[in-house]
Amino acid sequence: MAILLHEHTRVLVQGITGTEGSFHTRQMVAYGTKVVAGVTPGKGGQNLDGIPVYDTVAEACQHHTIDASVIFVPAAFAPEAILEAADAGIPLIVCITEGIPLHAMLRTYHLLRAYPVRLIGPNCPGLISPGKAKLGVIPHGPFMPGPVGMVSRSGTLTYEIAAHLSAQGLGQSTVVGIGGDPIVGTTFVELLPLFEEDPETEVVVMVGEIGGAAEEEAAEYAKAHMTKPLVAYIAGFSAPPGKRMGHAGAIVTGGEDTAQAKAQRLEKLGVPVARTPAGVATLVKEVLR
């Protein structure tokens, strides 16, 4: 099985006719994702490789049953695109867009609470259930089917760690990139119960970063509520103090926010932390023995 995404998930692409949207739509389709429709205002009636394009999400939903939407819309329009998908009742919304202003995302986050939807992102690579389907820009090459669930704040580290896992024969059930912005639609804690309930996920890998307390909250949740082991990696062991490392949410505000300090706190909560991306596969092997 998998969480959130499987081979039968019917997908809408918002911004399908743009450069990024069209390229990654073709990549998703080639992997096996069921992209049933696209939306670009003003381009209704066109198609991309036979995939019909509509002017609005509501119009697309009138013609198709849609389980998930992936958003390739510029930052200035992405918040409204998210809300348009939510208003149409699409249960899973994946926003790839980066650079959304903090105040705009804060407003969107709170408005979304009125809808029965789940947002992944923004500023995320998307997600993949290896061998089944993928959403977003996440490349399929490093991944293979297996028992390891992954949730990550970093896209490139996700790919690297997955490659190390796959090289050791440790495939993945579902891999979710939640995004590295200060405000994201879904947190580590909100995804851990889904992996806990998935019968084919045997261990969960959490890829975190310096800054914030999301990783500690996930470790506390795992200690209290999970029977499956949680393994972690924290990016930033060599980060200079006070430097932002890649993501708006990854900034050290004091000695307690360093990768080393965060790793020590996780280990006190029972979560083993690898010091290198390659070390994650070693820890996963150990907990699966």
Strand ranges inside the chain, DSSP E: 10-14, 34-39, 47-48, 51-54, 68-71, 92-95, 118-120, 126-129, 133-136, 145-152, 172-177, 203-209, 230-235, 273-274
Between 78-87 and 102-112, two packed helices, what is the crossing angle to 10 degrees? 10
Q: Exposed, middle or buried: residue 155 (CB in 10 Å: 0-12, 13-18, 19+)?
A: buried
Choosing from 24, 140, 164, 247, which is the catalytic residue?
247
d(CA 132, CA 143): 11
d(CA 148, CA 168): 12
Q: Which of 20, 281, 283, 249 is nearest to 136 (CA)?
A: 20
Residue 142, classed as helix, strand or coil, is coil
Phi, psi of 89 (to 5 degrees): 85, 20
Residues 17-26 as b/e (b if ≥16 CB within 10 A, e otherwise) read bbeebbebbe
The β-bridge partners of 128 are 134, 175
Told to judge if 247 belongs to the known catalytic residues of this protein, a careful annotator would answer yes
- 196: amino acid identity, one letter: E
What residues are annotated to the active site?
247
